[in-house]
Amino acid sequence: MIYKVVLLYLLTQLINPIGLIAFIIPGIIFILALFPANYILYENSDVSIIEIIKECFRITKKAKLKLLMFYLSFIEWYILGMLTLGILFIYVTPYISVTSYYLYKKLSGKEYVNSEISSQYMI
C-alpha cells in the first residue's frame, strides 16, 4: 500500500509541472483534475495507479470551473495564513482538506453527509 501512495504522489507531482511548463492552463486543469487521487486510493487500495488517474479525470470531467472557484474561495485564508507567519495554517490546512474530501464525495456521487450541512456549505 505504501508504495502506491508514494508512486501516486510522484506521478501527480510529475504531471502537474509538465502541464504548467507546456502552458499555464493545462497545468491548472491537471492540478484540478488530480485533486481526488489520494481520496480514491484511500477508498480503493486494490486499484492500480492508472485506474486511479482515469477515475480522477472521470470525476472532475465537467466540474473544472466549480473546482477552480472552490479553491479560489480559500485565497483569503492563505493570505491571512501568510500574514500570521503560518500560525493560521494550523487551522486552515485541516479545514481545506476536509472540505476537499466532501467535495470529492459530492462529485463522485458517494455523498453520505447530512443534506442540511451539505446544502449549506458545499457548492
- Domain range summary for the chain, segments of one domain joined by +: 1-61, 62-123
pTM: 0.76
Question: Is the model more confident about 82 or about 20?
Answer: 82
pLDDT average, residue stretch 46-75? 92
Q: Identify the pLDDT of residue 118.
A: 52
pLDDT band at 2 (very low <50, low <70, confident <90, very high): confident
Q: Which tens digit of pLDDT belongs to each residue from 29-39?
A: 888 999 999 99
- Answer whether 52's CB lies under 8 Å from 8's CB: yes
Residue 69 has pLDDT above 90, yes or no: yes
pLDDT band at 66 (very low <50, low <70, confident <90, very high): very high
Chain mean position to CA 55: 13
Chain mean position to CA 5: 15
If you average pLDDT over every residue of the chain, what do you get? 85
d(CA 99, CA 104): 9
How many C-beta neighbours within 10 Å does residue 50 have? 9
| Start-end of H helices in the chain | 2-22, 24-33, 37-43, 49-59, 64-72, 75-83, 89-108, 115-121
